[in-house]
Structure 1
Amino acid sequence: MRSVRPPGLLVLAVLALHLLLGHEVQRIHEGWLSDGPPPMPERMKVALVHEMTLQAPPARPTAPRLPQPAPRHESPASPEPASEPASAPEPASAPESEPAAEAASAAPVPVVAAEAASAPVDGEPGPEWPLSTRLTYVLTGNYRGPIHGQAQVEWLRKGRDYQVNLDVAVGPSFAPLITRRMSSQGQLTPEGIAPQRYDEETKFILGEPRRISVFFLPGEVQLATGVREPAMRGGQDAASQFVQLTWLFMTGRETLQAGRVVHFPLVLPRRQYDWQYEVLGLEPLSTTMGELATWHLKPSRPAIGGDLTAEVWLAPALQYLPVHILIRQDAETSIDLMLKSAPLQAAPESPNDTPRRLSQ
């Protein structure tokens, strides 16, 4: 008796289905093995209701100095692709004399609480932390030639929780060619900012966004490469470092004086540094708010392996916030952010506000 054979088309259909299912199972399996970084954190929602004005600073309180981290050797650089040629001349700066330092303490600044160095009550951050603030900047720089755009820095806080967002857009605001968001979030402590995670997302006008994350775990940090290393005490990330500097100077934990060096651990996506900023001195800066006296801080040495570094100009007249930031990848690739308008700030927090802990 002759056996009945299934039609050829049916056999082909079954084989195709098996191949499709096998491919899908393989794709899912590969996804499990190579989970990407988590999505960018939600932006903290804070109402920014008034423009900052220039006011005389109060006398800076004397605060206990923070423990300094023990020096460590940076992890070896990983090979990086060569940067595209461009040109970014380095600004020359000269240290200022002692009279200039005295003038800075008398420069106009928004009033902050006189008890700025007081310890937090019941675990809540003290009044030394700036209110939630947004600074907007005009962006210029070099990347395959001159570039233009816009940027903003948001310092947001609710109770002990904080978030810093640095948003950069290259090209016209209605259709930027490249955008990057750098986000830090964590807790405010008596020793300063304690990041819990750092995220960075870069989008191009064409192609998929690229995202990396760094996690600050108990006693260690997980870098964007997935490598875990022992954490140094007081470590900051690429975004939180700017507000940490503001806090150090506002509270008198660090002194602004030409030639002084401020250092703290800096955790960048690929490696950690025992980072150092040298105070070059007071420099007048022409802004849309008029001429401001600013303190110019510059890294004592360059980073390695293509890591980004930043020079900052902090204005005592604006709570020591950064009114000018120069970010370098190397000697030929940089972006320059200059304050565009008066910063916006939130109303003071109600003492009855319940702090909301950010999830990792």
Structure 2
Amino acid sequence: MKKPRPPWLLVLAVLALHLLLGREVQRIHEGWVSEGPPPMAPRMQVEFVREMVLQAPPMTVRTLPPPPKRVVKAEAALAAPEPASVPEPLALPSTPEPVAQAPSAPAEEAPVPVAQAASAAPGDEPGPEWPLSTRLTYVLTGNYRGPVHGEAQVEWLRKGSDYQVHLDVNVGPSFAPFITRRMSSQGQLTPEGIAPQRYDEETRFIVGDGRRASVFFLPTEVQLASGVRQPAQRGAQDSASQFVQLTWLFLTGRAVLEPGRVVSFPLVLPNRQYPQWDYEVIGEEWVETGTGWVPAWHLKPRGSTKGDDMTAEVWLAPGMQYLPVRLVIRQDASTYVDLMLKSAPLQAAPESTNDIPRRLSP
């Protein structure tokens, strides 16, 4: 006959089992936390085959005076002929037939909401109003605890109704930047413009840990980087998609470019939503890019931000399909980066005959 085991042995066995289970649960939880959100879809593979040529835009009023002249020192003026020191504006082709212009309205008119825009392309497939896949490269200057220099790149990628926007910023030398930031948006092209599904922002430093934030656009909610869910706003854009949405609005004539006009849409940043984000059209200006002087419309955000949210001024060039030739991204008065177009944008070949650019009526 076996001798019965003391009850305390059974208690120790149960405690040991609970301890092992607790450690396993903690390990799994730590794994989830360290892994963070699921990875983004792979970057679309696009072959850029040609440089974009400055074109006569479908709708524009060319009232700008000639571009300004550079200030040249006397020694330089003697060493080189004067024309070499005065950049010429890029030549435009002959002006096409006039296109019906949207009726003008007073500057104090209510902002133009994106959600009320009508579609210019039948069905769900994107039409020729969407730019082909395009890569833009920029020279970076600015201030972050002192003057900074670097480079940046924007890629607008699309296949069918799927899109991606990637903004890569490198502060410091290209071989070892001090700070790198990637802002990526992916989603769908719809009759009401861009519909983001996910936004990712990753910042890395040459020393120390980096930061990553993700925003998810769900059918009826938006999940912020903190995990908090809030009701979704119709027509909302993220930090990267907003610039292409502006391009689409002006390229198709859904929004009128006129000093004093305001264009509005909801904006979702990693930490909060802004139900109405306003861009005021300041006016048309000459922008000195790496390809020469380019006329562009200057848009500036109105209102104030919260916390460390950043704002961006943008210059959209009608002759380059209203793509941004300059961006000034600010965190505060003394922290900003200024991105100036370095070279002619590169574009992919059309996917189909529907992608061949043509002039559109508003």
TM over 0.5: yes
- 1:326 is the counterpart of 2:328: yes
- Alignment of 1:100 with 2:63, yes or no, is yes
3-state SS, counterpart of residue 186 of structure 1: strand
**Contact 1:40–1:201 (CA<8 Å) still a contact in 2?**
no
1:292-347: per-residue Cα shift (whole Å, max 9, x none)? 11100000112111101100011111111000000001111101100000000011
Letter in 2 for 1:236: Q
Q: Which runs of 5+ in 1 are unaligned?
A: 1-17, 61-97, 354-360
Runs of 4+ in 1 over 6 A off after TM superposition: 18-22, 109-112
In 1, the alpha carbon distance for the partners of 2:251 and 2:46 equals 23
TM-score (norm 2): 0.74
- Residue 63 of structure 2: SS of its match in structure 1? helix
Residue 295 of structure 2: aligned partner? 293
Distance 1:289 1:352, change over 3 A: closer
Structure 1 partner of 2:153: 152
2:187 is equivalent to residue 183 of structure 1: no
Could you tell me which residue of structure 1 aligns to residue 217 of structure 2? Answer: 216
Cα deviation digits, residues 163-221 of structure 1 (max 9, x gap)? 00000011111111111110000000010000000001111123343211000001111
Task: Tell me how many residue pairs correspond in the alignment.
Answer: 294
Report percent identity of matched pairs.
Answer: 72
For 2:212, give the aligned amino acid. Answer: R
Check whether the contact 2:144–2:336 (CA below 8 A) recurs between aligned residues: yes
CA deviations 1:15-38 (Å, max 9, x no partner) are xxx999976663333334676222
In 2, Cα distance between equivalents of 1:33 and 1:110: 59
- Over 3 Å counting, the alpha-carbon distance change for 1:43 and 1:99 in structure 2 is closer
CA distance in 1, matches of 2:29, 2:47: 44
| Separation in 1, partners of 2:55, 2:170 | 31
Aligned to 2:86: none
Q: Which amino acid letter does the alignment assign opposite residue 288 of structure 2?
A: S
- Whole-Å Cα distance in 2 between the matches of residues 102 and 127 of structure 1? 32
The gaps in structure 2 that reach 5 residues or longer are 1-17, 67-90, 101-117, 356-362
Change in Cα spacing, 1:239 to 1:110, as seen in structure 2 (3 Å) is farther
Alignment of 1:61-210 (within 5 A): 100=63, 108=92, 119-210=120-211
Asked whether the 8 Å contact 1:221–1:229 carries over to 2, the reply is yes
Is the Cα–Cα contact under 8 Å of residues 138 and 343 in structure 2 kept in the other structure? yes
Checking the alignment, whether the CA contact within 8 Å between 1:109 and 1:319 is kept in structure 2 is no
Larger radius of gyration: 2
Conservation of the 8 A alpha-carbon contact between 1:110 and 1:317: no
What is the CA–CA distance in structure 1 between the aligned matches of 2:126 and 2:65, rounded to whole Å? 29
Bigger relative contact order (CA 8 A; separation at least 6): 1
Q: 3-state DSSP class of the match of 1:341?
A: coil
Show the counterpart of 2:45.
45
**2:48 counterpart SS class:** coil
Counterparts of 2:57 and 2:311, CA distance in 1: 29
In the superposition, the TM-score normalised over structure 1's length comes to 0.75
| 3-state SS of paired residue (1:49) | strand
Contact 2:119 2:191 in 1 (8 A): no
Alpha-carbon contact 2:165-2:185 (below 8 Å) kept: yes
